[in-house]
């Protein structure tokens, strides 16, 4: 399975101290250079994503080839999101990990499968890696991640919580 990730799921799972869920669920993750730079080099994140991303041998940094496609997407998206989408197309990703609404909308237009942090937590619960996700969702909201109450309620219903 080929998985490409944007920055926010990496940061969110690091904040939750659940970064290893990515390895457990997906094996290897591909990230474009811009995502690596956002998470590690500029290191604006909360939590330990900077160290976790740079130390994870199962995260592969891949240079995006189609710079023109990235430039076109920059009209709507930030650099990390644009490179994530272009890289996913270039390497034929099975899944794109992305939380940002504009990026998810673009992925839907391109008919590319996507899952965000909340979906990753739900999948981990469904296969028995996590016993509960309610505390994780509450912690994300407390840390300032934008998750609507409607989404939380829907996901908790799916999770049987």
Distance CA(80)–CA(25), nearest Å, equals 22
139, part of any domain: no
124, part of any domain: no
Of 82, 46, 47, the closest CA to residue 64 belongs to 82
Residue predicted with more confidence, 42 or 158: 158
Number of domains in the chain: 1
> Which has the minimum average pLDDT: 23-27, 43-47, 68-72, 123-127?
43-47
What was the pLDDT predicted at 8? 92
Whether 95 contacts 30, CB under 8 Å: no
53, part of any domain: yes
Whether 58 contacts 27, CB under 8 Å: yes
Locate tokens 């994300």: which residue?
140
Distance CA(51)–CA(100), nearest Å, equals 23
Task: Identify the CATH number of the domain in which residue 29 sits.
Answer: 3.40.50.1010
pTM: 0.92
Distance CA(30)–CA(92), nearest Å, equals 11
């Amino acid at each position: 399975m080929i998985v490409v990730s944007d920055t926010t799921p990496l940061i969110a799972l690091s904040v939750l101290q659940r970064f290893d869920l990515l390895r457990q669920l997906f094996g290897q993750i591909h990230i474009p250079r811009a995502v690596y730079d956002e998470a590690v080099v500029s290191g604006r994140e909360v939590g330990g994503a900077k160290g976790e991303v740079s130390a994870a041998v199962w995260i592969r940094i891949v240079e995006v080839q189609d710079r023109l496609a990235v430039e076109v997407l920059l009209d709507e998206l930030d650099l990390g999101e644009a490179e994530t989408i272009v890289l996913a197309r270039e390497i034929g990703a099975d899944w794109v990990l992305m939380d940002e609404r504009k990026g998810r909308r673009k992925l839907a237009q391109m008919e590319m499968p996507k899952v965000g942090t909340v979906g990753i937590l739900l999948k981990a619960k469904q296969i028995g890696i996590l016993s509960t996700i309610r505390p994780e969702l509450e912690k994300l909201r407390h840390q300032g991640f934008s998750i609507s109450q409607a989404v939380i309620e829907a996901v908790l219903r799916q999770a049987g919580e």
